[in-house]
Amino acid sequence: MYGGATLLMGSSLSGNQTLISKNGTFALGFFNPRATNNWYIGIWYTTIPQKAIVWVANRDNPVRNMPGVLKFSRGGQLTLFDRMGCSVWSTDNGQKGSGAVITDSGNFIVLDAHNESAIVWESFAHPTDTLLPDAKLWKGMTLTSWKSSSDPASGLYSFRMDTSLGKTELMMLFNNTVPYWSSGECIGHNYFTNVPELEGQKKVQTSCVRLSPSRIYIYFGLNPVDHMITGRFVLNENGDFELFFGMDDGRWSLRWSTIRSAGPMDCAIRMMCIVVSRASHPSTTLKVGGQLGVLGENPFNALSRRAQPTASWKPRTNTCLKKKLS
């Protein structure tokens, strides 16, 4: 185990080595989903034995058959190599870094080589399916679900901010194009018209902050009480947006979700109410335009078998441009 919080220039991470945040809350290292031969660089909580991956670097480009090597080159770039020396993921944005750090908030950052108080790259600016406490989801950023519970590749559901109608709301979309849930407008700092129950949460405060018409972000903070030690919002592989609290007994407790909040009431959906969680809520019914629908009957099932995510990410070709590991 590497054990430190920082990956310095010229050093690397491989095998079962991990970076551990100074407060001991987060780890960064390689993980391998069950029943697969794919390996990924990810971040998870160390304080909750029930492992939950909160960020994945190479979600759409796994390393096959064995862990790779995460290398911070002397040129100031962080790169993940497979066993053949092929680059499968990199933070290369033209800016030179001096080291990479996993922070106490779970943000993986690359420090500026010329000013170590400045950040040239951070995982919070490139989220996968999870929003951590105090991470900012800016306008233009997107959470994208996993493809399945054992495949972190980009799935068919996304979550982002929408201001197209002149109001700030949170939107979930199928295949990045079809909206199926809305939070309603954000009024003030922490009230969303379609999910008023979030305002009443004593343990979590969800806020939207407007710095300018183009610079808007949302975040959530925690008020640890009742043996709750941390939390996370996650867009799961079925398209449900969920809030989990990590408890001091080592388990994750589901406290809120978009499907649960709909209950027997009208869904907060712009186009239609899709039902995405039959296994979790088999007997719940939802009212859609006066009609009752059984939870789990997802009208997008047929589309899901054909659709491909339309996110801006484009898969790499099989051509491998080898780079030196030093």
Query: How far is Cα 245 from Cα 254, in angstroms, rounded to an integer?
Result: 7
Query: Do 107 and 139 lie in a common domain?
Result: no
Domain final residue pick, 201, 225, 258 = 258
User: How many CA within 13 A on the CB side of residue 215?
Assistant: 2
pLDDT in tens, 200-237: 666 777 888 889 888 999 888 877 665 567 899 999 99
* Residues 31, 3 share a domain: yes
Residue 293, in any domain of the structure:
no
Average pLDDT, the chain: 79
Tell me the β-bridge partners of 235: 241
Looking at the structure, tell me whether residues 133 and 122 fall in a common domain: no
Same domain, 114 and 192: no
Range of the domain at 68: 1-126
Which carries the bigger pLDDT value, residue 1 or residue 184?
A: 184
In sequence order, what are the residues at sequence separation of 6 or more whose Cβ sits closer than 8 angstroms to the Cβ of residue 305? none
Q: Is residue 310 part of a domain?
A: no
Query: Whole-angstrom Cα distance, residue 223 to residue 48?
Result: 18
Task: Give the CATH number for residue 43.
Answer: 2.90.10.10
Would residue 24 count as lying in a domain? yes
- Asked whether residue 240 is domain-assigned, the answer is yes
Same domain? For 166 and 201 the reply is yes
The domain total for the chain is: 2
Q: Collapsing DSSP states into helix, strand and coil, what is residue 185?
A: strand
Residues 60-70, mean pLDDT to the nearest whole number = 92
Residue 267 lies in a domain: no
* 88-140 per-position pLDDT tens digit: 999 988 889 999 999 999 999 999 998 888 999 999 999 999 999 989 999 99
Cα–Cα distance for residue pair 80/313, rounded to 1 Å: 18
Judge if 118 and 43 occupy the same domain. Answer: yes
- Domain co-membership, 20 together with 67: yes
Q: Point out the domain boundary residue: 225, 258, 291.
A: 258
pTM exceeding the 0.85 threshold for the entire prediction: no
Instruction: Output the pLDDT for position 219.
Output: 85
Q: Give me the mean pLDDT over the 76-92 stretch.
A: 92
pLDDT of residue 155: 96
Separation between Cα atoms, residue 23 and residue 305, nearest integer Å: 43
Boundary-marking domain end, from 215, 238, 258: 258
